[in-house]
Amino acid sequence: MRLNHKKAVIFDLDGTLVDSMWMWKSIDVEYLARFGWSVRKICRRR
């Protein structure tokens, strides 16, 4: 993604502008699976 000619960029990391919290569990599961980890493995370690 090129940022040429952009005057501003908005980061919404806490869900104030867009409610995106519902999708994070599936994103975490998919990301961890790429490295051979599962949510269950990580939760068991705690």
Residues 6+ apart with CB under 8 A from 38: 29, 32
Integer Cα distance of 25 and 39 in angstroms:
9
Domain range enclosing 41 = 19-46
Q: Is residue 12 domain-resident?
A: no
Q: Is residue 46 domain-resident?
A: yes
Q: Is residue 14 domain-resident?
A: no
Mean predicted lDDT score pLDDT of the chain: 80
First to last CA, the chain: 38
pLDDT of res. 23: 82
Number of domains comprising the chain: 1
Q: Which residue has the tokens 């104030």?
A: 16
Residue 1 reports pLDDT greater than 70: no
Structure tokens of 30?
Answer: 């998919």
pLDDT of res. 28: 85
Residue 18's pLDDT band, with cuts at 50, 70 and 90, is confident
Integer Cα distance of 12 and 7 in angstroms:
17
Q: Per-residue pLDDT tens for 30-45?
A: 998 999 988 776 666 5
Q: Is residue 25 domain-resident?
A: yes
